[in-house]
Amino acid sequence: MPFVVAIDGPAASGKGTIARAIAAHFGFHHLDTGLLYRATGVKGGDPVTAARGLMPDDLSRPDLRSAEAGQAASRIAAIADVRAALVDFQHRFAARNPGAVLDGRDIGTVICPQAQVKLYVVASDEVRAVRRARELNCDPADMLVQLQERDRRDSERAAAPMRPADDAVVIDTSDMSIDDAVATAIAAVDKARR
């Protein structure tokens, strides 16, 4: 059975950076599940049809990291039929040998509740806003409003709300270097692999 690491948390908390580092360290496959929703959102048209027709090439569009794509992802992620259409894709990915790291907002609670390791990565709203604003070259104050709106929508939605799994290890990256955050996450995976 493949080893699965589920990483959840809000935008700009560092979960993607940690997920990529864990995958590289252990030789696991990595899936940023947010790209599935971003790609579906930017395709336009009926979101359920777009989700069902999603192709791997759709995940490499250059506009998927924009703030607009993030907002579109959050809006369509609240649609239960969209989520259902993307679940099979994620389950197949998680079954890849020798293991997989999936990061998103409902991996440990909905997609892979039996994952051997569940991490929930957080950071303060202000730290996340500065990080994302630097990444997108925009105003941190505007980004703070966008992130808080998205967090509210993601945590209050009826279908698979963003929340930590009961057995998740919480990593607060607000005052951590990238190296320290990655080391903390790798230690959690190492412990579970013993």
3-state secondary structure of 10: coil
Secondary structure E strands in 13-154: 29-32, 99-104, 117-122
10 among annotated binding-site residues: yes
User: Is 66 annotated as contributing to ligand binding?
Assistant: no
Is 72 one of the annotated binding-site residues? no
Task: Write the burial class of residue 44 (CB in 10 Å: 0-12 exposed, 13-18 middle, 19+ buried).
Answer: exposed
Residue 16 assigned to a binding site: yes
Cα-Cα-Cα-Cα torsion 127, 129, 133, 139, nearest 10 degrees, comes to -120
173 annotated among ligand-binding-site residues: no
Q: Give the residues across from 31 on adjacent strands.
A: 102
The angle, 0 to 180 degrees and rounded to 10, between the axes of the packed helices 80-94 and 34-43 is 140
Q: Consult the annotation and say whether 9 binds a ligand.
A: yes
Phi, psi of 171 (to 5 degrees): -120, 115
Q: Is 13 annotated as a binding residue?
A: yes
Positions at the binding site for ATP? 9-17
Which residues are annotated as part of the binding site? Answer: 9-17
